[in-house]
Amino acid sequence: MITRLEHLNSAQQSDVLSLIAAAADRDGVPPVAEHVLLHLRHGGDKEDSHFIAEREGKIVGYAHLDLTDQVEGPSAEVVVHPDFRNQGVGNSLIKELLRTAGTSLRLWSHGDLPGAKNIAVSNGFTRTRTVIQMRRSLGDPIPELDASIPIRSFLVGIDDAEWISL
């Protein structure tokens, strides 16, 4: 059963946060963005909605729907507890999101996981954006730079067009 809520009570918040932690532990990547966690804990925009999927009184799936972007359209993030994956929970959540937000809905996926790709494609979504995070430990030694590669700061009036083309 899928339920749409404007706000989660403290028990629901706790259950959803536990579900998110279980998914992060299994997948090695947080399943939702930081702003979703903040909305869960502290409330969000009045246009936001929470969707919970329950089985036998237990929350096994969660979706956050953000209807505030008037330019790009609505966006959502979905997470299913690892023990309940491949049982139609994610598909049911996405179908409900589409009923609520319409076909302009955008789904965010974290970690580029095969299951997320498969369910998105099976519901008619295509990849339109990829966010790549690059990191290095501050404790590692600084590598030698190739002297043939110039490195300088941005120059206004010179680099503008190249920067915008990115």
pLDDT tens digits, residue range 21-57?
999 999 999 999 998 998 888 876 777 899 999 999 9
Burial of residue 135 (CB within 10 Å: 0-12, 13-18, 19+) is: exposed
> CA 161 from chain center: how many Å?
31
Selected residue with higher pLDDT from 3 and 164: 3
pLDDT (0 to 100) of residue 112: 85
pLDDT (0 to 100) of residue 33: 93
What total of structural domains would you count in the chain?
1
pLDDT (0 to 100) of residue 63: 98
Backbone angles phi, psi at 141, to 5 degrees: -65, 150
Query: Do residues 49 and 4 lie in contact, with contact meaning Cβ atoms separated by under 8 Å?
Result: yes
Q: In this structure, is residue 158 part of a structural domain? A: no
Q: In this structure, is residue 146 part of a structural domain? A: no
What pTM does this model have? 0.80
Q: In this structure, is residue 78 part of a structural domain? A: yes
Q: In this structure, is residue 26 part of a structural domain? A: yes
| pLDDT tens profile 98-156 | 999 999 999 999 988 999 999 999 999 999 888 888 888 899 998 888 989 988 898 99
* CA dist., res. 96 & res. 10, Å (int): 23
Query: Do residues 26 and 34 lie in contact, with contact meaning Cβ atoms separated by under 8 Å?
Result: no
